[in-house]
Amino acid sequence: MDMEILQDYLPEARELLEKAQEDTLRLESEPGNDEILASVFRAFHTLKGGAGFLEADHLVSWTHHLEDLLDKLRSHTLTISASMIDAILKGLDVIDDMLQQLAHGESPAAGPEDLGNVIQQLAAGQTPYLQALTAETDESGTDATTCPSTDTTLLASQRITVDGHNGIYIERADISSHSAPGSSDEISEAEFEATLDALYGNQAPGLVDPPEQFCPDGDKISPEEFERVLDHLHSSQARGYDAQDRTAHTQPASAALKTDPPVPRITRQDQSLYAQSQTTTPAPIVNLSARSQNMPEAADTTLRVDALRLDAVMNQVGELVLLRNRLASAVSSLGEENEDMARIAREVDLTVNDIQSTVMRLRMQPCKRLFQQLPRVVRDASRQLGKEVKLDIVGEEVEIDKTVVDALSGPMTHLIRNSLDHGIEPPEVRQAAGKPRSATIRVAAIHLGDKVRIEVSDDGRGIDRQFVTQKAIDKGVITTDQAARLSEQEALELVFRPGFSTKDQATDLSGRGVGMDVVKETVRKLRGHLDIQTRLGLGTTIAMEFPLTMAVLPVLYLRLRREIYALPISSIESLLDIQESRIHRMGGRSVYRVDGTQVTPMVDLGALLNDRPLRLGSEPIEGVLTERGLFMVSEVLGNEDSVVKPIDFLAEQTWYQGATISGKGNVVLILDPGALIGHALEYPSTGKMPPTDRRGAA
């Protein structure tokens, strides 16, 4: 296998696969859209061409079957049906698996035989035995018509055409009517019914969907059928049809491809020709040519770069940022005596900012990549659950760091499935509640300054806090005492606890109490913020906020007596002068009255990190107000763009997001405000963690 070709092929193939899936789902709602059909066809065709270069025979064979089916649909020889959509989608899943095998350097194994047969039968205009499709979807069994081809034959005759030439006429004839012993010219009602049954199985017209829906061109003779008759009549001497072509058409596609010469020798232009030889219709060749013509244009503006190289550049820029910080710090210590140095430091600062911003943009990807799998998830899960759901996607163009896009794929799927399983009511329940039968799930990406907010909301039944609390007690996630202290929001956030589920029995969609925990953990690892809002009977919104870039973290340095720590600026709302009159005790916890409307938990970092509370009035104290609470510190020193270095030697669950090197060259621990507040709320009386449970405290 040529690894260079593979490196080029895989990303393109994945893009094609994603596009094909998106288009196939669109086909379901727009079955007559030729443009979409052509797009899916092209995707399979291109996938097949590339796989040929890699000598991935099973992939070639698999895509060929799908391409064949799409070709028939495109040429209106067949009409699209639900079972076809299912088969295509399942076929795409198989291709995805094959691509993963390719990515591991293995030659893809053959696709599942039963699904392959189904696709081939569908392409042949036959009604397949749908076990492969019904294995996971239950509605496809309704498509049980029988196409005429199984019980009909083609009769050829030579007659004079209207323009006086010899012509071969091919007609479809029913075997049963010709071979039935003792047949007469009179057709009885029973014979008619038997013929109908033979033609359409037990779905005779008038009883179920008209057969045209499944075999609309049952009487029409396809070009292949015509060619086969010509072969039969003239052996291999049919005009315009040489032995090589014949092999390609009469043998299974995979076998035909195996006989082809090794592909890597062929140039890109040749590849089009190679593809041409395998297709039955010229249309894709035209499209490929057009594509080839456009290629130089695309090559001028885009360049595919290995993500590892980008990561390396980003890391180097990170180091440059740290050096910039050290330079700025060193120059500022020189005072005003050296104006030139100060000016140079400022210019370096601006240049590094520009480089950092440019490199950051290199890693940005549109949220479309994250969202494009969701229509399929909604489609499959809603059908499985028998729910009617509309998916609204907003902000696909909003860009976010590649790391976030890669990491969020699983959690997004989980949130959607969770919403479908737990949030969305069955159609009849919705109707009874005065809601539209069809529920709406909204997925949105919103750009907020240095953050991107990703929301998943539904108009389902919402979350009952009391029910959640009771379930958490029942499952041993919290004690009754802890439950009594929970605020409404904290009760709601129990759904993110590991092991929590409102279901007693796990299904293949949810109920194991793992998914939401994974969502929370993923958000934490991505330095994000998770929020859940619900209104009983009206719906739930889960919002995740992530920094635009993961490479550089703006932090605020603070002093806690003699130690310096950092807090991510993204979590800070403002800095306050602590006033004793605003400190109160509530439910065993210290709270701070920020203003007339806001009361927030208060965390003494001295007590938490130094085991010695800060003494207001006796030593300098400042407040750092974050989204989740107020931190008491000795002094706020200033801000800096830092580069986070992971702390591998600490436990998984720590109070720190990592470490950084300050402008003065010191290693500074970056605090995790969410973990600190969470801990302070868990141990309100002391504000300290039990000695046995200190999580990575320095």
What are residue 440's DSSP bridge partners? Answer: 390
Shortest distance, CB of residue 571 to other proteins, whole angstroms? 9
Q: Among the candidate windows 56-64, 111-119, 564-572, 674-682, which touches other proteins by CB under 8 A?
A: 564-572
Q: Among the candidate windows 73-81, 206-214, 527-535, 566-574, which touches other proteins by CB under 8 A?
A: 566-574
Shortest distance, CB of residue 462 to other proteins, whole angstroms? 29
Longest dimension (CA), the chain: 118
Shortest distance, CB of residue 558 to other proteins, whole angstroms? 10
Residue in this structure with the two tokens 């709406």, named with its chain if needed? 440
CB within 8 Å of 163: residues ≥ 6 apart: none
Amino acid at 392: D
Amino acid at 296: P
CB within 8 Å of 441: residues ≥ 6 apart: 378, 389, 390, 391, 392, 416, 419, 420, 424, 456, 457, 458
In the bound state with other proteins, the residue whose beta carbon lies nearer, of 173 and 344, is 344
In the bound state with other proteins, the residue whose beta carbon lies nearer, of 183 and 574, is 574
In the bound state with other proteins, the residue whose beta carbon lies nearer, of 450 and 474, is 450
- C-alpha count within 13 angstroms, C-beta hemisphere, residue 51: 31
Amino acid at 82: A
Q: How far apart are alpha carbons 660 and 552 in whole angstroms? A: 10
Amino acid at 598: Q
Shortest distance, CB of residue 480 to other proteins, whole angstroms? 40
The closest alpha carbon to 583, from 604, 562, 567, belongs to 604
In the bound state with other proteins, the residue whose beta carbon lies nearer, of 238 and 362, is 362
In the bound state with other proteins, the residue whose beta carbon lies nearer, of 458 and 641, is 641
CB within 8 Å of 29: residues ≥ 6 apart: none
Interaction residues for other proteins, span 217-246 (CB under 8 A): none
- Of the candidate residues 556, 608, 614, 677, the single one contacting other proteins (CB under 8 A): 556
Q: How far apart are alpha carbons 440 and 387 in whole angstroms? A: 11
Interaction residues for other proteins, span 421-480 (CB under 8 A): 449-451
In the bound state with other proteins, the residue whose beta carbon lies nearer, of 361 and 584, is 361
Shortest distance, CB of residue 294 to other proteins, whole angstroms? 34
DSSP category for residue 111: P
Question: Phi/psi of residue 555, each to 5°?
Answer: -125, 160
What are residue 559's DSSP bridge partners? Answer: 564, 635
- Of the candidate residues 121, 501, 570, 634, the single one contacting other proteins (CB under 8 A): 570
In the bound state with other proteins, the residue whose beta carbon lies nearer, of 356 and 522, is 356
Question: What does each C-alpha distance from 519 to 425, 478, 524 come to in angstroms?
Answer: 23, 20, 9
Shortest distance, CB of residue 496 to other proteins, whole angstroms? 25
Q: Contacts by 153-158 with C-beta closer than 8 Å and gap 24+?
A: 153/178, 154/221, 154/225, 154/228, 154/229, 156/229, 156/232, 156/233
Question: What does each C-alpha distance from 26 to 11, 30, 89, 379 come to in angstroms?
Answer: 23, 6, 12, 11
Q: Among the candidate windows 548-556, 585-593, 603-611, 661-669, which touches other proteins by CB under 8 A?
A: 548-556
In the bound state with other proteins, the residue whose beta carbon lies nearer, of 204 and 342, is 342
Q: How far apart are alpha carbons 593 and 581 in whole angstroms? A: 9
Q: How far apart are alpha carbons 576 and 632 in whole angstroms? A: 10
- Of the candidate residues 574, 579, 598, 666, the single one contacting other proteins (CB under 8 A): 574
In the bound state with other proteins, the residue whose beta carbon lies nearer, of 262 and 449, is 449
Shortest distance, CB of residue 620 to other proteins, whole angstroms? 9
Shortest distance, CB of residue 449 to other proteins, whole angstroms? 4
Q: Among the candidate windows 212-220, 454-462, 567-575, 689-697, which touches other proteins by CB under 8 A?
A: 567-575
Residue in this structure with the two tokens 């240095």, named with its chain if needed? 450
The tokens describing 628, both together, are 């989740």
What are residue 454's DSSP bridge partners? Answer: 445, 544
The closest alpha carbon to 435, from 390, 386, 378, belongs to 390
Shortest distance, CB of residue 68 to other proteins, whole angstroms? 50
Q: Cβ(392)–Cβ(440) under 8 Å? A: yes
Shortest distance, CB of residue 386 to other proteins, whole angstroms? 44
Interaction residues for other proteins, span 494-523 (CB under 8 A): none
Count of residues near other proteins by CB under 8 A? 19
Shortest distance, CB of residue 342 to other proteins, whole angstroms? 11
Q: Among the candidate windows 139-147, 436-444, 568-576, 585-593, which touches other proteins by CB under 8 A?
A: 568-576
Q: How far apart are alpha carbons 5 and 7 in whole angstroms? A: 5
Q: Would you give the binding string for other proteins spanning residues 621-660, x where CB under 8 A is met?
A: -x-------------x-xx---------------------
Helix (H) or strand (E) holding 615: none
- Of the candidate residues 516, 572, 668, 680, the single one contacting other proteins (CB under 8 A): 572
Q: Would you give the binding string for other proteins spanning residues 593-622, x where CB under 8 A is met?
A: -----------------------------x
In the bound state with other proteins, the residue whose beta carbon lies nearer, of 125 and 674, is 674
Residue in this structure with the two tokens 């690892």, named with its chain if needed? 525
Helix (H) or strand (E) holding 418: helix 402-418
Q: Does 575 bind other proteins (CB under 8 A)?
A: yes
Q: Can you give the C-alpha Rg of the chain in angstroms?
A: 33
Sheet of 563-568: strand order equals 635-642, 553-560, 563-568, 667-671, 656-661
Q: Cβ(132)–Cβ(117) under 8 Å? A: yes
What are residue 635's DSSP bridge partners? Answer: 559
In the bound state with other proteins, the residue whose beta carbon lies nearer, of 51 and 643, is 643
Q: Among the candidate windows 426-434, 487-495, 571-579, 646-654, which touches other proteins by CB under 8 A?
A: 571-579
Shortest distance, CB of residue 331 to other proteins, whole angstroms? 12
In the bound state with other proteins, the residue whose beta carbon lies nearer, of 410 and 620, is 620
Shortest distance, CB of residue 442 to other proteins, whole angstroms? 22
- Of the candidate residues 4, 35, 337, 577, the single one contacting other proteins (CB under 8 A): 577
In the bound state with other proteins, the residue whose beta carbon lies nearer, of 120 and 570, is 570
Residue in this structure with the two tokens 């290693």, named with its chain if needed? 667
Shortest distance, CB of residue 41 to other proteins, whole angstroms? 43
Q: How far apart are alpha carbons 178 and 191 in whole angstroms? A: 13
- Of the candidate residues 25, 444, 548, 633, the single one contacting other proteins (CB under 8 A): 548
Amino acid at 671: L
Shortest distance, CB of residue 554 to other proteins, whole angstroms? 5
In the bound state with other proteins, the residue whose beta carbon lies nearer, of 148 and 547, is 547
Shortest distance, CB of residue 569 to other proteins, whole angstroms? 5
Shortest distance, CB of residue 636 to other proteins, whole angstroms? 6
In the bound state with other proteins, the residue whose beta carbon lies nearer, of 326 and 451, is 451
The tokens describing 674, both together, are 């969410």
In the bound state with other proteins, the residue whose beta carbon lies nearer, of 209 and 622, is 622
Query: Binding residues for other proteins, per CB under 8 A?
Result: 357, 449-451, 548, 554, 556, 569-570, 572-577, 622, 636, 638-639
